[in-house]
């Protein structure tokens, strides 16, 4: 198998593929056997195992299956040849106690062993040449040197050199190495299955609606603003907005949300989600590389290719283990020769050291965990942009939450409208303010528009719209200057806040100014998410302090904090002030995770040790965040932190196993227990090496069970 020092760098760059145009349209992913590609993510032989290097697309999908088949075939051929080699070997005959020597017995052994060496050992020899070209000796170098030295020495004994041949051990060694690699390749097949499921989610065709005609077209022909029909049970072909019909959509593979989500007119749908029982017509917003699914795939692959501190540590350890193994191998040969032992015995010790010290398990320890954790996270609505931040999430001591839409549902309903100016009725205040809120997706704006529609009001037109950063919005409506602002704006402008503006309820209040004068205010209530309380229990159980920073007033902030049992809160905070809060906490020695919407909270997300963008929905390009949560559910953050801890623990377990195994095995292979009568043969060493790799692979696979566990 390939040198695992470069294991992670070699992950196929599917981001270079146009998943939305070429590959999702020309191939029916739903019918494709994606198991063909999984292992190529870990690239166990892109350069080394077989004599070709197919590119991406269908050839890349087939390449992995061909690689496994190639190893299987080489193993069975080698095994068949190993049986007569063992049968005709004088050493085996002496050991078992029989004699069956044919004329030219040594030449028969030489011929059979030559086929085993060149055919069975070819993947290792080819890998050795590849490592030499890169000046990066690794596992293939050790195996190739071990089998080459054994073959050359044994061949020399056939043609006149004094000594005992090594053919039977050479054959068994290659057979065991082949079966070990074959089994291991099969055991790591699931490394990126979650990502492959994402890749396979797009259907091959779409039903495009043109007038009364419905035509089936391939995805590459689908254009923005096209109208498509999605029938019951079908996959949605592209991101878009429903313009007709309603249905429940299953987005579990995209967002981690297990329950089907009801979608109606004007709701957004994500390409790859599965339609329920209703037919819907969708206006296409994104296709190809701009689609949500492709952004997720690209982000996952970029995260898999980005090396964290743990990955770099693993790479350095594997590199040094190779050098140490080479040094100990030749040193072992020299020591046994100096002690007066036969060359064949000293050679056997050297070969065993080189085989058993292969840094395969060490090289696989981290990359496999990385591939699994990143892909499985994406399947559960956790998109990792910064691997180091994800692995360090185990250190989080303080979690700073934005309130609206995270701890609360963000589904505001108008509870009160009050006028403080006799010139304007409550209906007029609501009507004029709705003009400013009609284009906003902010929860408060949505709540106001919802109330206007319930009251069957006509929303007036506006001019010269302007956002007052962190404080509200302003525009001209029907010749009047209208502002809808926060209490902080009133304080800054020295405008007195009415005494009865706040009730005892956990309300959010916005104030309406007309031509610079306070006209009235609108109170809205936001329901606390039922998942929030459970998530906060998990944080506290893991010794994480939970704080809240909100632009809301003191009364609202305190009500939410008390109800959820938070460790503290900051009220009436502007976006730029959140950065200062994060800095203050860090100066106190806290490891801070900040959660926000990825837009207003960008500076704070960047300052935090771990920045988590929440509620990004189909906008996965939150550039300042380390991790993006597709949903706004605070329990997803709990899952994220716990899964980050589990991922780190798996890495440590694998590193301990891989290095600990070598610490014990190398001295045994060198023959330190010779005086006690214990000698480890090359074939047994190969068994242990293969087992150690398979153990690491299986341990990494167990990580999948950790996602979502409390």
What residues are labeled active site?
402
Q: Are 577 and 402 in contact (CB under 8 A)?
A: no
Q: Are 275 and 331 in contact (CB under 8 A)?
A: no
3 state SS of 229: strand
Give the E-state strand segments of 580-653 in sequence order: 592-596, 610-613, 627-629
* CA 415/CA 401 separation, integer angstroms: 25
Give the E-state strand segments of 391-538 in sequence order: 398-402, 408-419, 463-468, 472-477, 480-485, 507-514, 517-528
397, 360, 317: which is closest to 591 by C-alpha?
Answer: 397
Strand-by-strand arrangement of the 239-244 sheet: 213-218, 205-210, 227-230, 280-286, 239-244, 268-269
- Cβ burial, residue 264 (10 Å; 0-12/13-18/19+): exposed
Quote the DSSP letter at residue 420.
Answer: S
Helices (H), ranges, 438-567: 443-454, 487-492, 530-541, 554-564
The CA-atom distances, in angstroms, between 523 and each of 499, 502, 503, 505 are 14, 8, 9, 10
Phi, psi of 96 (to 5 degrees): -80, -30
The CA-atom distances, in angstroms, between 690 and each of 4, 7, 62 are 14, 17, 25
Torsion angle of C-alpha atoms 223, 245, 251, 625, degrees rounded to 10:
60
Question: Backbone dihedral region of 202: left (phi > 0), alpha (psi from -120 to 50 degrees) or beta?
Answer: beta
Q: Find the farthest-apart pair of alpha carbons in the chain and give their distance in angstroms, rounded.
A: 119
* CA 330/CA 353 separation, integer angstroms: 9
> Percent helix, strand and coil across the chain, each rounded to 5?
55, 15, 30
Phi, psi of 418 (to 5 degrees): -125, 140
Question: Backbone dihedral region of 671: left (phi > 0), alpha (psi from -120 to 50 degrees) or beta?
Answer: left
Phi, psi of 227 (to 5 degrees): -100, 125
Quote the DSSP letter at residue 11.
Answer: S
Torsion angle of C-alpha atoms 249, 253, 259, 261, degrees rounded to 10:
-30
* CA 495/CA 365 separation, integer angstroms: 63
Q: Are 696 and 361 in contact (CB under 8 A)?
A: yes
């Amino acid at each position: 198998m390939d040198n695992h020092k470069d294991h992670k760098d070699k992950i196929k760059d599917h981001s270079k593929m146009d998943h939305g145009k070429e590959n999702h349209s020309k191939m029916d992913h739903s019918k494709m056997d994606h198991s063909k590609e999984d292992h190529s993510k870990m690239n166990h032989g892109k350069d080394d195992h077989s004599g070709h290097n197919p590119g991406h697309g269908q050839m890349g999908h087939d390449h992995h299956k061909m690689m496994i088949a190639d190893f299987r075939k080489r193993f069975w051929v080698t095994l068949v040849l190993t049986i007569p080699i063992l049968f005709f070997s004088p050493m085996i005959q002496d050991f078992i106690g029989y004699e069956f020597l044919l004329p030219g017995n040594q030449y028969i052994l030489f011929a059979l062993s030559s086929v085993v060496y060149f055919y069975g050992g070819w993947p290792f020899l080819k890998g050795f040449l590849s490592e030499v070209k890169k000046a990066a000796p690794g596992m293939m170098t050790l195996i190739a040197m071990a089998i080459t030295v054994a073959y050359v020495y044994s061949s020399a004994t056939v043609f006149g050199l004094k000594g005992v041949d090594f053919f039977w051990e050479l054959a068994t060694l290659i057979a065991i190495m082949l079966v070990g690699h074959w089994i291991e390749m099969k055991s790591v097949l699931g490394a990126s299955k979650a990502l492959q499921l994402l890749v396979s989610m797009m259907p091959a065709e779409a039903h495009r609606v043109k007038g009364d005609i419905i035509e089936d077209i391939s995805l590459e022909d689908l254009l923005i603003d096209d109208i498509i029909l999605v029938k019951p049970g079908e996959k949605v072909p592209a991101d878009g907005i429903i313009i007709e019909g309603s249905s429940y959509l299953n987005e579990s593979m995209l967002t981690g949300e297990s329950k089907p989500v009801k979608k109606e007119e004007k709701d957004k749908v994500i390409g790859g989600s599965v339609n329920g029982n209703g037919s819907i017509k969708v206006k296409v917003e994104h296709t190809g590389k701009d689609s949500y699914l492709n952004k997720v795939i690209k982000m996952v692959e970029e995260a898999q290719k980005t090396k964290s501190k743990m990955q770099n540590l693993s790479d350095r350890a594997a590199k040094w283990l190779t050098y140490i193994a080479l040094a100990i191998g030749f040193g072992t040969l020299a020591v046994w020769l100096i002690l007066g032992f036969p060359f064949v015995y000293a050679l056997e010790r050297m070969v065993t050291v080189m085989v058993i010290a292969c840094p395969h398990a060490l090289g696989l320890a981290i990359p496999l965990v990385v591939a699994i954790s990143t892909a499985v996270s994406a399947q559960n609505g956790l998109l990792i942009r910064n691997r180091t931040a994800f692995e360090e999430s185990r250190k989080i001591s303080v979690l700073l939450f934005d309130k609206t839409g995270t701890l609360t549902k963000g589904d505001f309903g108008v509870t009160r409208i009050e006028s403080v100016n006799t010139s304007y009725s409550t209906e007029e205040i609501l009507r004029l303010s709705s003009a400013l809120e009609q284009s906003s997706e902010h929860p408060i704006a949505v709540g106001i528009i919802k109330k206007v529609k319930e009251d069957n009001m006509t929303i007036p037109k506006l001019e010269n719209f302007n956002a007052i950063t962190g404080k509200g919005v302003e525009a001209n409506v029907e010749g009047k200057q209208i502002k809808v602002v926060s209490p902080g704006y009133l304080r800054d402008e020295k405008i007195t806040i009415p005494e009865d503006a706040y009730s005892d309820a956990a309300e959010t209040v916005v104030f309406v100014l007309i031509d610079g004068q306070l006209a009235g205010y609108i109170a809205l209530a936001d329901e606390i998410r039922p998942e929030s309380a459970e998530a906060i229990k998990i944080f506290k159980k893991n010794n994480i302090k939970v704080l809240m920073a909100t632009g809301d007033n003191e009364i609202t902030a305190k009500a939410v904090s008390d109800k959820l049992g938070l460790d503290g809160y900051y009220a009436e905070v502007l976006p730029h002030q959140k950065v200062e809060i994060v800095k203050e906490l860090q100066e106190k020695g806290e490891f801070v995770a900040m959660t926000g919407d990825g837009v207003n909270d960008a500076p704070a997300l960047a300052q935090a040790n771990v920045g988590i963008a929440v509620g990004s929905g189909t906008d996965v390009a939150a550039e300042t965040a380390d991790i993006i949560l597709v949903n706004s559910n605070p329990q997803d953050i709990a899952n994220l932190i716990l899964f980050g801890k589990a991922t780190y623990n798996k890495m440590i377990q694998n590193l301990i196993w891989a290095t600990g195994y070598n610490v014990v095995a190398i001295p045994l292979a060198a023959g330190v227990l010779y005086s006690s009568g214990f000698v480890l043969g090359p074939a047994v060493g190969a068994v242990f090496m293969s087992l150690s790799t398979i153990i690491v692979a299986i341990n990494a696979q167990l990580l999948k069970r950790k996602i979502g566990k409390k």
